[in-house]
Amino acid sequence: MWDEKQQKNVAELLRQFNGADEVCAVTGCSLEELDELSRDAFKCSFEKARSAFAAQGRAMVRQALMQQALDGNMKAIDMICRNEMGMGPVESRARNIARDEGDADAGEEDGFLALIRGRARRPA
């Protein structure tokens, strides 16, 4: 059975997206013991605890990223725009290509579009 300090340590490891191997390495338990230890500590299977704590970790990362963006960090703003608003370069280019596909002046198929469609030319 994990003591209170070990429970907090395991919870923190799981919030940092560690898995069973890392938890076992830090706590000294075996993979076979994880579910039982997790049920005692968190009242659920290890996999459910891992999933719940990882969700908390993602929320904490997003919160920190948003704070950085609000503070004017351009990389954080860029990441939020790409991830949350669909403004990544691939998505933007694909939208532009789809919009311009009917253009008679476009000439040869765009190399990027060809790559997406699986028709990219192979190097000689």
| pLDDT (tens digit per residue) in 12-50 | 999 999 999 999 999 999 999 999 999 999 999 999 999
CA distance 73 to 117: 36
Judge residue 49's burial from the number of C-beta atoms within 10 Å of its C-beta, 0-12 exposed, 13-18 middle, 19 or more buried: buried
**Region for 12 from its dihedrals, namely left if φ exceeds 0, alpha if ψ lies in -120 to 50, beta otherwise:** alpha
Half-sphere exposure of 26 (CA within 13 A, CB side): 18
Share of the chain above pLDDT 70, in %: 70
Total domain count, the chain: 2
**What range does the domain containing 62 cover?**
4-83
CA distance 59 to 78: 18
Of 15, 96, 110, give the one whose Cα is nearest residue 23.
15
Arithmetic mean of pLDDT over the chain: 84
Same domain, 54 and 109: no
Residue 35: predicted pLDDT: 94
Predicted TM-score (pTM) above 0.85:
no
Same domain, 76 and 93: no
Average pLDDT, integer, range 76-81: 87
Residue 104: predicted pLDDT: 47
Residue identified by tokens 């351009």 is 74
Same domain, 50 and 100: no
